[in-house]
Amino acid sequence: SLLPEVRRPLLKQMLSTPRLLRAIECHSPLSAVLAATAMSRDAQHAEFDVLWASGFSHATALALPDAELATLERRLDAIADIAAVTSKPILADGDTGGDAMAFGYLCRRLEDLGVSGVVLEDKSGSKRTSLADDANHELEDPETVCWKIAAAKDRLLSDDFLIFARIESLIAGAGMADALARAERYLHSDADAVVIHSKDRSGAEATRFMEAYRRLQQQTGVSKPLACIPTAYNHLTGAELHKHGVRLVIHGNHMIRAAYRSMQQAAELILQHDRSAEADAVCAPVKELFAAVGVETTAPKPAPRVAKL
Ligand code: SPV
Ligand code: MG
């Protein structure tokens, strides 16, 4: 882990260079350790830059729907647990953030934990998960979103905690014009960065927005980093999204989905064969788990007491 004041500025520092950043979801301390230590074989994209403390994944790990049901304090505890065992910058999913007071409180607590930023999505009411085909989404008035961000910024003690304004127009079916109007509004707000979300599997909708966002920045003379969550259009690589102007790619739910599938397979294989030998194929050896969490195999001996003369 890192001291909060050392860890918090890391994301802002990383975003000050033009290189593409890659974030991966984590939902538990162990998933965060795996996310933080994952290495690609080709050295080019050797590791993830950022840990995404996903609301969806945390809720799913608690076997709850992604509808802001876990209390704020419980979310904060989960993020503190992740911070305790990793040293990568953490970007927290702030969901709708509640009202201005609740969102300001969340930001201050995250700031204290050394979290580098939060994503506030512009939905209101009882939030529904963005990737469900049949969900009814209610968009928040962009003025309210900007007010919440401004009020939270006012409460922050540092200038290195970033607030990302997440545009949900394309998720809610409000269309490209609404998404771009919001993007322009957020460019002129206290938000530090913008996130676009889309569930169009072709990726055409997302990339159209990205190109329009590039033009918008040129026209307005204001530029803020753009992030995306390409779960639906995951045939596009980070490098391709970077060419469309994306600065941070968030792989939003892959650790929990991978864990779900292998847990399901292990449980079924044990039942099917009435023994666990076959399940070994989908399980890591315990030694790897020892290495990941630093198990001590011998208990430390107490130091001999030396009588003080
Ligand atoms: C999350 O990971 O919680 C997100 C991304 O907000 S999504 O689930 O795609 O809405
Ligand atoms: Mg979420």
Other beta carbons within 10 Å of 261: 11
Judge whether 232 lies within some domain: yes
ipTM of the complex: 0.98
Q: What confidence category does residue 309 fall into, taking pLDDT thresholds of 50, 70 and 90? A: low
Question: Same domain for 278 and 237?
Answer: no
pLDDT reported for residue 306: 74
Residue 102's CATH number = 3.20.20.60
Judge whether 304 lies within some domain: no
| Average pLDDT of the residues in 43-59 | 92
- Cα torsion through 98, 165, 148, 137, rounded to 10: -40
Backbone phi, then psi, for 166, in 5-degree steps?
Answer: -105, 125
Q: What confidence category does residue 143 fall into, taking pLDDT thresholds of 50, 70 and 90? A: very high
Better-predicted residue by pLDDT, 40 or 82: 82
Question: Same domain for 154 and 283?
Answer: no
Judge whether 305 lies within some domain: no
Question: Same domain for 269 and 241?
Answer: no
pLDDT reported for residue 136: 87
Please report the DSSP string for 45-103 in residue order: G-S-SEEEE-HHHHHHHTT--TTT-S-HHHHHHHHHHHHHH--S-EEEE-TT--SHHHH
pLDDT reported for residue 253: 98
| Average pLDDT of the residues in 62-86 | 96
Question: Same domain for 83 and 137?
Answer: yes
Q: What confidence category does residue 305 fall into, taking pLDDT thresholds of 50, 70 and 90? A: confident
pLDDT reported for residue 296: 72
Judge whether 22 lies within some domain: yes
| Average pLDDT of the residues in 95-105 | 96
Question: Same domain for 25 and 122?
Answer: yes
Residue to probe by mutation, ligand 1, list 82, 127, 229, 233, most atoms within 8 Å of CB: 229
Q: How many residues are there in the chain?
A: 309
For residues 194 and 163, what is the distance between their CA atoms, to the nearest angstrom?
Answer: 9
Judge whether 205 lies within some domain: yes
pLDDT reported for residue 238: 97
Q: What confidence category does residue 185 fall into, taking pLDDT thresholds of 50, 70 and 90? A: very high
pLDDT reported for residue 135: 87
Residue to probe by mutation, ligand 1, list 50, 54, 164, most atoms within 8 Å of CB: 54
Question: Same domain for 246 and 282?
Answer: no
282 is in which domain, residue-wise?
261-293
pLDDT tens digits, one per residue of 149-164 = 999 999 999 999 999 9
Question: 120: CA distance to ligand 2 center in Å?
Answer: 9
Question: Same domain for 164 and 287?
Answer: no
Residues marked active site are found at 66
* pLDDT over 90 (residue 11): yes
* Pocket lined around ligand 1, Cβ cut-off 6 Å: 25, 54-57, 66, 93, 129-131, 229, 231, 252-253
pLDDT reported for residue 213: 98
Judge whether 189 lies within some domain: yes
Please report the DSSP string for 157-219 in residue order: S-S--EEEEEE-HHHHT-HHHHHHHHHHHHHTSS-SEEEE----TTSHHHHHHHHHHHHHHHH
Domain count, the chain: 2
Question: Same domain for 205 and 153?
Answer: yes
Judge whether 306 lies within some domain: no
Question: Same domain for 67 and 173?
Answer: yes
pLDDT reported for residue 308: 66
pLDDT above 90: percentage of residues in the chain = 88
Question: Same domain for 101 and 213?
Answer: yes
Judge whether 167 lies within some domain: yes
**Which atom, in ligand 1's list, is nearest to the CA of 131?**
9
Neighbours of ion ligand 2 (CB under 5 A): 55-56, 93
Question: Same domain for 233 and 106?
Answer: yes
pLDDT reported for residue 299: 74
Enter the pTM of the model.
0.95
For residues 78 and 52, what is the distance between their CA atoms, to the nearest angstrom?
Answer: 12
- Average pLDDT over the chain reads 95
pLDDT tens digits, one per residue of 276-304 = 999 999 999 999 999 999 877 777 777 77
Question: Same domain for 15 and 140?
Answer: yes
Question: 127: CA distance to ligand 1 center in Å?
Answer: 11
